[in-house]
Amino acid sequence: MLKLLSFALLGTGALCDVTTGIPDSAPPGFEEFISPIVLPAPPVKGTADWASSVQRARAFVRGLSLAEKINVTTGVDVMGRCVGNTGTIPRIGWKGLCLEDSPLGVRLADFVSAGPAGINAAATWDIDLIKARGVAMGEEHRGKGVNVALGPMTNMGRQAAAGRNWEGFGGDPFLSGVATAATIEGLQSVGVIATVKHYIGNEQEHFRGGSESAQIYSSNIDDKTLHEVYLWPFAEAVKAGVGAVMCSYNKINQTQACQNSKLINGVLKEELGFQGFIMSDWAAMINGVQPALAGLDMNMPGFVGYGIGPQNDPDPSTATNSWWGAALIEMVNNGSVPESRVDDMESFLGNYRNFPGLTLLTGHSNDCNMETFSNGELVNEHINVQGDHFKLIREIGAASTILLKNTKNVLPLKVNNIKRIGIFGSDAGPHPEGPNTCSTGKPDHGCDEGTLAMGWGSGTAYFPYLIDPLAAITEHIQSIDPTVVIEGVLDDFNAGSQTAVASLADTCIVFVNADSGEGYIPVPDTPDGNMGDRNNLTLWHSGDDLINNVAASCANTIVVQHVVGPVLVEAWIDHPNVTAVLHAGLPGQESGNAIVDVLFSDSPQATNPSGRLPYTIAKQRTDYAADILYTSSMTTPQITYTEGVNIDYRWFDLNGITPRFEFGFGLSYSTFAYSGLQTVHVGPARRAEAATSSAPVVVSSATASTKSTSASGSLSVTVSRSASVTSHTAVSASVSASVSASASFSLSASSSANATATASAPPSLSSPVGDIGGPAALYESLLTVSFKIQNTGHTAGNEVSQLYLGFPASRGEPPKVLRGFARTMLSPGQSKTVTLTLRQKDVSVWDVVAQKWAVAKGTFKVMVGSSSRNIHLEGTFQL
């Protein structure tokens, strides 16, 4: 059905126009990185549970004039009540859609919560908390009248310094995929459409593109890497039923993301069977016809570019300063875009299907979108939508805090053991200009003043309040013993005052930070300010000096980092007086309370830390697989992903580089023992056999590892040796055949699946193309991996266990990849069995020749541990 067409085959004069599909040429040396043209745009199929909604949307669209249809596809302006507003259809009372940032809350609104950043959600490794965060954000968007929330963000953090990494879920596609899906489920469960972004390869801010950018980089990504790393979380989003996707500013293989027909028509809509709509990032379009044919469905915010022409055209269907609007009517009339394509752009209205309370034709009682008047007065502004979300924000703040060092168990603290405490650093205190303004006047948190609880840019929200650490620690200590001496030195640079206080204190806590954000704001506002991406991976405000100065005169120096991503800690991490380090990320409005819960065992909500790094902390910047391209004279700077699938920890493993703190690392106040690894085949290819035998088929040989103590931490784990389980039963090769058959893009019935596969296959294996998220078989369970964890310490706490797989050799896979995790609460002495499920997709590789996923055949290594390098149990299974 979906073909690669040469221009000669297109048949109409209009399609031969240079604006309709010829990709930009590649500069010398990059010729292989050219995106093919994939036409026509596959219409929404209305498969699975989307059927009735798509039908409903089609019926709705059938009754509209072309001008009315155009109003649904094109934004009005950015001065409306929301950052994105579609036109309306007054004839039938359709009030249009409100689209609003951000991935951590409702942007630019009052009486909303400002919760933890995406990167902190990921650092909890807790699917329930991540989903609860999604629900809370959804309730606030919904309460403000937002139809389409512009999150989650799920770019991969390829470069440690990339400005917007903190909006997303870290450096591993599996972790990002789980977090993305859980966030979407949460958001959409309360009737808001989620938007997964930025599709795709939007991995740095420098030269990212958009109307203000003279240079737009091309992310050159090979097919295997695209599928196995960067697309993975988007596929999980589609599988989770995400209603909207946002294409990014940058180019991929020379072609701008919002008109990349291979990626939109070919990958998103055909291969992943996406049934929702894809919108442009704000002013990311650089052309009108090409995006329409490439499958783009909505032009946001409507105008041609920031500062270019009128920015506020009230009627999209007549708007002339737009790539679409009136121009899209002309494109239909002159034959360059079929009207059926415009109809298809609105099939997304079917997204209303499962969203309670929203209907096609009514407005919303809200701040953000539609006005409700009473006697001519607007009555529904300033609605308070916070509910009790502060509780969840505090819980996630503590649950996402990662304990990196804890010499001689100096943490947790007890107020009764402290006589005199010093608190250091501007990051411990309030913002001098208030939590939502900058002394430079920059908007969107474009400064690093006071304690850092979110980055800057469009991915933000206004704080209703921001609890700073000094205030929270003071309040907590005083609630137990008001006679403790508490001295705060908030000046980062006054070494004398720091020393004076540190040398008298028995306990010193140093707060440091590192910030980043979106490229339109330089921070600090100086010529060498950070243009979104960080210029370095070290602490801001001379944090290294601050720590070393305090540690020089305080034998118990505890460091707390509020950082957007990995920070190099070599300048002080081994200092004997730096006794403990907490990596708290960007916790949001309850920051101070959350850190008190982790620091103090006598806090009413004391929390044993269980956060784990969602990325690697290297010893030096050059250890990472890739870095930011800061300078280029090319119009299209070329960023080639030469490391392939080996980003983050995969690169360190592959090249034998020792990180300072590995991916997945985090200590606890307790200790845990792992035992009893079992791998059981449960998948479709076994179902027939399982019916004749009630005993589970064990396909692994489990051996207990002796590598039980982390080199970099004090977590000691006792591993009980489990009996080796033997029965080796190879999984039938028909699994691979059936996955491949259903992954085929052919519309004909699966031809290559053989009798065995068909007989034992679940119905989804034979479903036609258009399965949501790719062939349904990929998401079928194949194996379960189970093991026992026991809390062998004296403190109750959560243990985050992680499952890594080593693929059969010569499949081009990294030494190990994350494929499962769980956060399990255990009281002292308690044991629990953890069972993780592997889907067919989790043991498959993308076959670039066959253009489908195929189960990797051979011997898999199973590694279960408490980080990517602290593996406690190992086993194997055969496929």
Ligand X SMILES: *[C@@H]1O[C@H](CO)[C@@H](O)[C@H](O)[C@H]1NC(C)=O
Nearest to 282, CA basis, from 83, 79, 541 = 83
- CB closer to ligand X, 88 vs 646: 88
Question: Torsions phi, psi of 245, nearest 5?
Answer: -130, 145
If binding is defined by CB under 6 A, does position 181 make contact with ligand X? no
* Cα 112 to the center of its chain, rounded Å: 22
In the list 11, 90, 387, 858, the residue contacting ligand X (rule: CB under 6 A) is 90
The DSSP symbol for 570 reads T
Shortest separation between residue 865's beta carbon and ligand X, angstroms: 33
Which of these ranges, 84-92, 347-355, 770-778, 807-815, lies near ligand X under the rule CB under 6 A? 84-92
If binding is defined by CB under 6 A, does position 258 make contact with ligand X? no
Residues 576-635 that bind ligand X (CB under 6 A): 576-577
Q: Which structure tokens are listed for 444? A: 């969107």
Give the C-alpha separation, 125 to 677, whole Å.
21
- CB closer to ligand X, 512 vs 834: 512
Question: Torsions phi, psi of 602, nearest 5?
Answer: -100, 10
The CA–CA distances, whole Å, from 81 to 108, 367, 375, 458 equal 10, 8, 21, 15
In the list 204, 386, 474, 530, the residue contacting ligand X (rule: CB under 6 A) is 530
- CB closer to ligand X, 12 vs 716: 12
In the list 120, 195, 218, 253, the residue contacting ligand X (rule: CB under 6 A) is 253
If binding is defined by CB under 6 A, does position 262 make contact with ligand X? yes
Give the C-alpha separation, 108 to 81, whole Å.
10
Which of these ranges, 563-571, 607-615, 718-726, 732-740, lies near ligand X under the rule CB under 6 A? 732-740
If binding is defined by CB under 6 A, does position 89 make contact with ligand X? yes
Shortest separation between residue 34's beta carbon and ligand X, angstroms: 7
If binding is defined by CB under 6 A, does position 29 make contact with ligand X? no
By DSSP bridging, strand 255-256 and strand 871-878 are unpaired
Q: Which structure tokens are listed for 573? A: 């991490």
**In one letter, which amino acid is 304?**
V
**In one letter, which amino acid is 637?**
P
In the list 108, 283, 327, 594, the residue contacting ligand X (rule: CB under 6 A) is 327
If binding is defined by CB under 6 A, does position 17 make contact with ligand X? yes
If binding is defined by CB under 6 A, does position 195 make contact with ligand X? no
Shortest separation between residue 648's beta carbon and ligand X, angstroms: 21
Which residues, 6+ apart, have CB-to-CB distance to 675 below 8 Å?
Answer: 704, 719, 720, 721, 722, 787, 788, 790, 873
Give the C-alpha separation, 640 to 221, whole Å.
6
Question: Torsions phi, psi of 864, nearest 5?
Answer: -120, 130
Shortest separation between residue 334's beta carbon and ligand X, angstroms: 4
**In one letter, which amino acid is 822?**
A
- CB closer to ligand X, 561 vs 867: 561
If binding is defined by CB under 6 A, does position 35 make contact with ligand X? yes
Residue nearest to ligand X (CB): 87
If binding is defined by CB under 6 A, does position 222 make contact with ligand X? yes
Residue 423 and residue 407 in contact, taking contact as beta carbons nearer than 8 Å: no
- CB closer to ligand X, 478 vs 620: 620
- CB closer to ligand X, 523 vs 560: 523
Which of these ranges, 30-38, 380-388, 474-482, 600-608, lies near ligand X under the rule CB under 6 A? 30-38
Which residues, 6+ apart, have CB-to-CB distance to 701 below 8 Å?
Answer: 724, 725, 726, 728, 875, 876
In the list 73, 88, 280, 740, the residue contacting ligand X (rule: CB under 6 A) is 88
Count of chain residues binding ligand X (CB under 6 A) = 50
Give the C-alpha separation, 570 to 674, whole Å.
31
10 Å CB burial of residue 392 (0-12, 13-18, 19+) is buried
Residues 287-316 that bind ligand X (CB under 6 A): 288-289, 314-316
The CA–CA distances, whole Å, from 482 to 129, 507, 594, 595, 606 equal 35, 16, 21, 20, 20
- CB closer to ligand X, 426 vs 866: 426
Shortest separation between residue 594's beta carbon and ligand X, angstroms: 25
If binding is defined by CB under 6 A, does position 525 make contact with ligand X? no
- CB closer to ligand X, 105 vs 566: 566
- Write the DSSP string, 5-31: --HHHH-STGGGSGGGSPPPPPPTT-T
Q: Which structure tokens are listed for 46? A: 């209305």
Q: Which structure tokens are listed for 540? A: 């801001």
Nearest to 871, CA basis, from 803, 783, 788 = 803
- CB closer to ligand X, 264 vs 472: 264
Instruction: Characterize 170-199 residue by residue with b for buried, 16 or more Cβ atoms within 10 angstroms of its Cβ, and e for exposed.
Output: bbbbbbbbbbbbbbbbbbbbbbbbbbbbbb
Shortest separation between residue 541's beta carbon and ligand X, angstroms: 6
By DSSP bridging, strand 859-865 and strand 797-806 are antiparallel
Active site residue 281: yes
Which of these ranges, 420-428, 536-544, 771-779, 791-799, lies near ligand X under the rule CB under 6 A? 536-544
- CB closer to ligand X, 202 vs 400: 202
Number of C-beta neighbours around residue 729 at 10 A: 14
**In one letter, which amino acid is 580?**
A
If binding is defined by CB under 6 A, does position 381 make contact with ligand X? no
Number of C-beta neighbours around residue 731 at 10 A: 21
In the list 555, 747, 809, 825, the residue contacting ligand X (rule: CB under 6 A) is 555
If binding is defined by CB under 6 A, does position 734 make contact with ligand X? yes
Site string for ligand X, 443-482 (x = CB under 6 A): ----------------------------------------
Of 101, 126, 172, 281, the catalytic one is 281
Shortest separation between residue 552's beta carbon and ligand X, angstroms: 4
Footprint of ligand X on this chain (CB under 6 A)? 14, 17, 32-33, 35, 67-68, 71, 76, 87-90, 96, 222-223, 252-253, 262-263, 288-289, 314-317, 327, 330-331, 334, 336, 530, 535-536, 538, 540-541, 551-555, 576-577, 732-734, 754-756
Catalytic residues: 281
